[in-house]
Amino acid sequence: MAGRPEILFPLFASLETLEGVGPKTAEALGGLAIERPRDVLFTLPQAGVDRSRRDSVRAVVPPAVVTVEVTVGAHFPPRTKGRPYRVAVRDAQVEFQLVFFHARADYLQKLLPTGQRRLVSGKVELFDGIAQIVHPDHVLRPEEAGDLPAFEPVYPLTAGITQKGMAKAAASALARAPVLAEWIDGALKVREGWPDWHLAVAAAHAPQTPADLAPSAPARQRLAYDELLAHQLTLALARASLRRGKGRATVGTGALQRKVLASLPYRQTGAQERAAAEIAADMASPLRMNRLLQGDVGSGKTLVAFLALTAAVEAGGQGVMMAPTEILARQHLDSLRPLAEAAGVVLELLTGRDKGAERAAKLAALARGDIQVLVGTHAVFQRDVEFHDLRLAVVDEQHRFGVSQRMELADKGQHADVLVMTATPIPRSLSLAQYGDMDVSVLDEKPAGRKPVATALISAGRMDEVVAHLRRAVAEGRQAYWVCPLVEESELTDMTAAEERFKRLRASLGEGVVGLVHGQLPPTEKDAAMARFVAGDTKVLVATTVIEVGVNVPNASIMVIERAESFGLAQLHQLRGRVGRGSAESTCLLMYQPPLSEGGKRRLGILRDTDDGFRIAEEDLAMRGAGDLIGTAQSGLPQFRIADLERQSALMAVAQTDARRLLADDPALSSPRGQAVRVLLWLMEQDRAIRLMGVG
């Protein structure tokens, strides 16, 4: 594939090619992540100021921005240092003052010559009953009045950049913006009433009313759609290249699966049956499977994944299940073992701890095909790990596994089908942004027999009652988690540190009853403390949030979360999901420090009222915004300049359908629209997509 199209060169030149941008300004713009004229083009105004002409400052109610023509009167320089410089002016109806601090007299006399007319615009305020404008934003000669728009756009700024500077750079970038061929589907564009790209960029930088600044304004929607479409095209190209990679038809006989299901004390949920059928159909097709299994805490993902793994074994192949950490790999092993025994499937664990002869023996058994299902950590990726016939890779991901890693796993050369599991319910718009290259199965029902966790809000003042409750529970043989917000006691916070809490609980509950896990512990100590709790040697585990990921202790039936208001909704939901896994009635106590903020009240209230992870995720998105929701930096979630995933979530689904349809009709992107789309991908810097097209 050739390099960047020539028509885009001006937008990818250096910033200093823009008017008014020298080396210093260019460096300052880096603070807004602006590196080229293209970035200036996609940095839209975030607000606007009404600068329409008034006859007099009387036309507005101070404090407010006003734009009036005035006759300049006398100047009143300050008598003593540090006092303001005042200039008397008169509009059509009333006299008022312009006020300047630290200003040079000669500069002000040139700017505002007595007896001449000037257009001034700024915020008028009342001071001792007299109207005044402190440091007007604009002072123009009457003949320059046309330079001031009636509605002035307000850009995001960073140190060293002024509004004037941003506006000038934007105007200069606009002047360099080429007219590009249309990449949006014609029918969609007409239906939505979207302008052409060039018009849309110009309109977005020249809003006429506050409505033009809203995400719903046609020009902004169109530009947001361009970003989302480019992103979804990249994911669709990734999906297409995975599917082009030879897949293999894996058709199970169902014999082992029937044994697994017969061994269960309960029936599968409808959602589990549906997901299992979707996965079986993907595995049976000659295309390579690339599916996401998304389910809430406790929705039974493990069973669905194991049924898929047994299908691989029934077809004469092998399966692998990968977890992000050793603790989780061991847990998967424990939860899969009874299922594997029921089916007569050979299950083995491979982690970084396997060394020497033991490791060599496992690798030999794997290469011979004696091990049918392997559970492991990233150690499974190592060069010397060879399978006899790998058909299915199941990845248990905690947002650590972006598109590129998924491709790497599939590239292990065995054309294996890939199933990714995630326990984080994500609103649809975000799951499309993050997993748009995948097909998605959702588990949205709780298995029978899972009791809901009783959730209560308790003020921190009632700590003694909580400890007494814990003492009784421990005496009855129950186990509890106690989650603390921070590890070390710092001067800046009054949040009780895990170590302090551990000492106090140990003092009131007795030696040996309480364990401690936090992020600063060496991994071996962390594992040992977890193991003691899992074995039931310690009854209360004091922890920071290291436990939110996948720990399974069925006997633990109490979760105390201290300073619950300082956690995010999704985090609280994940933490609560650590209890309610056994037969005992479980409780989750959300302890908060009054007074609660509005947001804190709303978060804890939602949690008390529902245990539906998807509803909680939608609320979380509405309250916090997309970047926050999954920690954008490490989530692989794209950084959009214009698109707003909360307010424009519906556009993401349209973009995915559109991108997949376009590639189905025009896989080589050689049609006129396909050619336009190539330009869009270069414009949006989707380099990965461009490489994939090269492969195609």
Mean of the pLDDT values across residues 501-519? 86
Q: Give pLDDT, residue 153.
A: 92
For residue 562, give both structure tokens: 């201290």
Q: Is 385 left (phi over 0), alpha (psi -120 to 50) or beta?
A: beta
8 A C-beta contact, residue 438 and residue 417: no
8 A C-beta contact, residue 132 and residue 95: no
pLDDT in tens, 307-355: 999 999 999 999 999 887 787 888 889 889 999 999 999 999 998 888 8
Helix axes 218-244, 197-205, angle to 10 degrees: 130
What whole-number distance in Å separates Cα of residue 397 and Cα of residue 399? 6
Distance of CA 167 to the CA centre of its chain: 30
3-class DSSP state for residue 373? Answer: strand
Mean of the pLDDT values across residues 440-450? 76
Summary mean pLDDT of the chain = 84
pLDDT in tens, 419-441: 988 877 676 666 676 677 778 88
Between residues 463 and 485, the one the model is more confident about: 463
For residue 50, give both structure tokens: 């009404």
Q: Give pLDDT, residue 622.
A: 65
Q: Which of 447-451, 572-576, 594-598, 612-616 has the lowest mean pLDDT?
A: 447-451
Please confirm whether the linkage preceding 142 is cis (ω < 30° from 0): no
Q: Give pLDDT, residue 492.
A: 41
What whole-number distance in Å separates Cα of residue 16 and Cα of residue 457? 57
DSSP string, 331-363: HHHHHHHHHHHHHT--EEEE-TT--HHHHHHHH
DSSP string, 54-100: ES-GGGS-SSEEEEEEEEEEEEE--SSTTSPEEEEEE-SS-EEEEEE
8 A C-beta contact, residue 379 and residue 320: no
pLDDT in tens, 631-683: 333 344 556 888 887 677 788 889 988 998 998 899 888 999 999 999 999 99
Q: In what order do the strands lie in the sheet with 514-517?
A: 454-459, 587-592, 556-561, 479-483, 540-543, 514-517
pLDDT in tens, 177-205: 999 999 999 999 999 999 999 999 999 99
Burial of 339 (0-12, 13-18, 19+ CB in 10 A): buried
In 3D space, the residue among 289, 582, 631, 637 whose CA is nearest the CA of residue 433 turns out to be 637
Report all structural domains of the chain as residue ranges with CATH numbers, in order of start. Answer: 6-48+157-213 (no CATH), 52-148 (2.40.50.140), 255-443 (3.40.50.300), 454-610 (3.40.50.300)
Q: Which of 96-100, 220-224, 613-617 has the lowest mean pLDDT?
A: 613-617
8 A C-beta contact, residue 669 and residue 249: no
CB atoms within 10 A of CB 458: 16
For residue 215, give both structure tokens: 């995400």
Q: Give pLDDT, residue 628.
A: 42
3-class DSSP state for residue 508? Answer: helix
Q: Give pLDDT, residue 96.
A: 94
What whole-number distance in Å separates Cα of residue 241 and Cα of residue 255? 33
Burial of 17 (0-12, 13-18, 19+ CB in 10 A): middle
8 A C-beta contact, residue 415 and residue 343: no
Q: Is the pLDDT of residue 629 over 50?
A: no
Q: Give pLDDT, residue 621.
A: 66
Q: Give pLDDT, residue 148.
A: 84
3-class DSSP state for residue 642? Answer: coil
pLDDT in tens, 34-86: 889 999 999 999 989 889 889 888 888 888 999 999 989 999 998 888 889 99
| Degrees, nearest 5: CA angle 23-641-400 | 110
DSSP string, 568-632: -HHHHHHHHTTSS-SSS--EEEEEE-SSPPHHHHHHHHHHHH---HHHHHHHHHHHH-HHHHTTH
What whole-number distance in Å separates Cα of residue 171 and Cα of residue 688? 31
Q: Give pLDDT, residue 579.
A: 84
Helix axes 598-609, 569-576, angle to 10 degrees: 30
Q: Give pLDDT, residue 404.
A: 60
pLDDT in tens, 81-92: 888 999 999 999
Which H helix or E strand runs over 317? Answer: none
Q: Give pLDDT, residue 671.
A: 93
Burial of 447 (0-12, 13-18, 19+ CB in 10 A): middle
Alpha-carbon dihedral angle through residues 240, 243, 245, 248, given to the nearest 10 degrees: 180
| Degrees, nearest 5: CA angle 129-135-137 | 115
What whole-number distance in Å separates Cα of residue 273 and Cα of residue 257? 12
3-class DSSP state for residue 475? Answer: helix
8 A C-beta contact, residue 119 and residue 140: yes
What whole-number distance in Å separates Cα of residue 635 and Cα of residue 376? 22
pTM for this predicted structure:
0.63
Beta partners for residue 516, in sequence order: 542
Beta partners for residue 118, in sequence order: 70
Q: Give pLDDT, residue 307.
A: 94
Q: Give pLDDT, residue 374.
A: 94
> In this structure, which long-range contacts are made by residues 522-526, counting pairs with CB atoms below 8 Å and at least 24 apart in sequence?
none
8 A C-beta contact, residue 501 and residue 558: no
CB atoms within 10 A of CB 302: 19
CA distances from 471 to 26, 510, 516, 578 (A): 63, 10, 17, 20
What whole-number distance in Å separates Cα of residue 116 and Cα of residue 114? 6
- Give residue 173's pLDDT band: very low, low, confident or very high (50, 70, 90): very high
Q: Give pLDDT, residue 530.
A: 83
Q: Give pLDDT, residue 630.
A: 39
Please confirm whether the linkage preceding 595 is cis (ω < 30° from 0): yes
Q: Is the pLDDT of residue 619 over 50?
A: yes
What whole-number distance in Å separates Cα of residue 304 and Cα of residue 268? 9
Q: Which of 234-238, 281-285, 687-691 has the lowest mean pLDDT?
A: 687-691
φ and ψ at 627, to 5 degrees? -60, -45
Q: Which of 26-30, 115-119, 303-307, 618-622 has the lowest mean pLDDT?
A: 618-622
Q: Give pLDDT, residue 486.
A: 56
- Give residue 623's pLDDT band: very low, low, confident or very high (50, 70, 90): low
pLDDT in tens, 373-425: 999 887 777 778 888 888 998 988 654 555 666 655 555 545 788 898 887 76
What whole-number distance in Å separates Cα of residue 515 and Cα of residue 548? 16
Q: Give pLDDT, residue 443.
A: 83
What whole-number distance in Å separates Cα of residue 438 and Cα of residue 418? 10
Handedness of CA 117, 122, 124, 127 (dihedral sign): negative
CA distances from 346 to 129, 164, 313, 356 (A): 88, 70, 10, 22
Q: Which residues lie below 8 Å from residue 658, measured CB to CB, with a gap of 6+?
A: 185, 188, 229, 232
8 A C-beta contact, residue 626 and residue 645: yes
8 A C-beta contact, residue 96 and residue 89: yes
Q: Which of 256-260, 481-485, 546-550 has the lowest mean pLDDT?
A: 546-550
3-class DSSP state for residue 126? Answer: strand
Mean of the pLDDT values across residues 8-26? 89
